Amino acid sequence: ASFLLLCFRSPLVTPLIFGLLLQPTLTQLSIISQPNIVLLMADDLGIGDVGCYGNDTIRTPNIDRLAKEGVKLTQHIAAAPLCTPSRAAFLTGRYPLRSGMDAINNYRVIFWNAGSGGLPPNETTFAKILQQQGYSTGLIGKWHQGVNCESRNDRCHHPLNHGFDYFYGMPFTLISDCQPTETPEMDRAFRRKLWLSTQMIGLIALTAALGRLTGLITVRWKTLTCLAGFSLLFFVSWFSSYGFVRYWNCIMMRNHEVTEQPMVTDRTTSLILRESISFIERNKHKPFLLFLSFLHSHTPLLTTEKFLRRSRHGLYGDNVEEMDWMVGQVLDAIDKGGLKDTTLVYFASDHGGWLERQEDKRQLGGWNGIYKGGKAMGGWEGGIRVPGIFRWPGVLPAGTVIDEPTSLMDIYPTVVHLAGGTVPQDRIIDGRDLMPLLRGTVVHSEHEFLFHYCGVHLHAVRWHQKDSGAVWKAHYVTPIFSPPGAGACYDRGFCPCFGEGVTHHDPPLLFDLSRDPSEAKPLSADTEPLFDTIIRKIERAIEEHRRTLTPVPEQLSVYNVVWKPWLQPCCGTFPFCWCDKEGDS
């Protein structure tokens, strides 16, 4: 006892005690269990569309504020260059082909609410784990991971079956067909072929009937009746789906209930924002997960009158600036609720901007800055390098920039560990916990290799050589730009993953992204002494990666993506599906 008393009287001990009591907030907040988590995901936003990533003409002050107050990732990579597979990887922390959510054909996303494909029920999303950890979980906005499997009410792919307590938004994705004044977007080329085939069949039937009436040809009336019936049946078979896209796909739901069919686009933005803020306010006294999945900045670029004609980049710029304003409103709700210091906020895009999306010389898609390529291109940086920003005051150092390879799949283990959960042990999780990197306790990302797929086709591989700091990238397949040298597939609308529209490279094209992020100067054995060594290292990694892949049902097979009337969500008695419950209320 006398020894302890002597110690406490020591002049060295008093400052030590005060030092421990006055540790910075960083240490105190670092042990907060179960922070609130707000995930903000833009749709089709290019990395070059945001101020803090170099855009000086589109105003994004709220997204820029997130970066100033938090951590900005400059090498944040989507696991796929299109919505459905990228979001599947984000939700599960796994490459989309592990869950069957990447395509072997040209139907690379979910095409109908009434398709039978979608995120399999046996996949475990981060929302499901957080739900088990006591979180209130909500998804507001876009889903695009399917709805039903075998019947209209089984809802096997629905958000509520994947760990979300509350859902308000589109089970599908925003498309130009949702706006009656816009040119239809969905399967446009295929629809033209169907129309042409219908007209040809109808013309043959009409010509045969006229020939029979005038006596120019001899044909039985029974044959003509069958021909006319076939013409009508062919027309009904495709027009029953494609003729009513706005009613079948452009719907809004609250949980399992269809609230708008078709959606009333003039108020969609305000309703999504209202629902997001309401969710925060309802759950501010307990841990919550809010996944706000914006409909911005996907065509048809729904923008309220307040933001029209404000930007220097036409309707697309207006739409991005409105989304930034929505981000600000959500951040204000967090601040006003006294939740700022206990809430991790994350902002990203699901993939790169859509370069080919144009109408009447208007550019309706995003810009990917210095990076080559864009949406739908699995290998080029412009299709997969996206904004990535984290903010958690007192825990994450403000104003930090990290140029290490990270992935949208990393969100999965990051939020699961923050919530006190554990990632599933019965499957491969490709994401890595980002908190040590974000907090600065480690210097390098855990990712040594990242594999860049286009559908199920491996197009490129990235190797992070940590001892030298180099980031090597080998392209095995690249799309053929059309017209030549244009930088995108303008003649097609989308770049393909396979077939005549791609080039296979043997040896692969090699780039050092640390020196050539624009992928402008491919290296060779003549210009890079380590060329053969690097390629051998990458090819060994590919072999090891492929050994981890197991066959799974293809969720985007032709059968699974076609429209099935018995699976169509409907707020009435099918096929009489129309309602406006938001307007009624």
- Vertex 484, ends 478 and 485: CA angle to 5°? 80
Cα–Cα distance, 180 to 184 (Å, whole number): 8
Q: Which pLDDT does position 14 carry in this prediction? A: 44
Q: What is the DSSP string of 490-529?
A: TTTSS--SSGGGEEEEEEEEEEETTT-TT--S-B-TTT-T
How far is Cα 282 from Cα 355, in angstroms, rounded to an integer? 40
> Which tokens in the block code for residue 484?
């030549």
Q: Is residue 86 a contact partner of residue 408, using CB atoms and an 8 Å limit? A: yes
Q: Using CA atoms, how far apart are residues 209 and 229, in angstroms rounded to an integer?
A: 13
| Cα 341 versus chain centre, distance | 27
From residue 33, how far is each of 233, 339, 431, 569 by CA, in Å? 61, 14, 21, 39
- pTM of structure: 0.92
Please state, in angstroms and as integers, the Cα–Cα distance from residue 163 to each residue in 38, 124, 188, 194, 425, following that order. Answer: 15, 8, 35, 40, 18
Residues with catalytic roles: 83, 144
Q: What one-character DSSP code corresponds to residue 420? A: T
Is 531 within 8 Å of 525 (Cβ atoms)? yes
pLDDT at 220: 83
Q: For the domain 36-174+250-580, what is the CATH superfamily, name and number?
A: Alkaline Phosphatase, subunit A (3.40.720.10)
Predicted pLDDT of residue 191 = 81
Question: CA distances (Å), 131 to each of 33, 47, 123, 250, 276, in order?
Answer: 15, 32, 15, 29, 18
Per domain, the residue ranges of the chain are: 36-174+250-580, 188-242
Token pair recorded at residue 308? 């029209």
Distance (Å, whole) CA 41 – CA 34:
21
Nearest-angstrom CA–CA distance, 319 and 324: 9
Contact 454, 81 (CB under 8 A): yes
H/E segment holding residue 363: strand 362-363
Q: What pLDDT shows up at residue 263?
A: 97
- The whole-angstrom separation of Cα 249 and Cα 335 is 36
Pairing of strands 166-170, 252-254: antiparallel
Structure tokens at 328: 């600000």
Average confidence (pLDDT) per 10 residues, the chain, 585 residues: 40 42 42 87 98 96 98 98 98 98 94 98 98 98 98 97 98 94 81 87 86 82 86 88 94 98 97 98 97 97 96 95 98 97 98 93 93 98 98 98 98 98 98 98 97 98 93 98 94 95 98 98 96 98 98 97 97 95 81
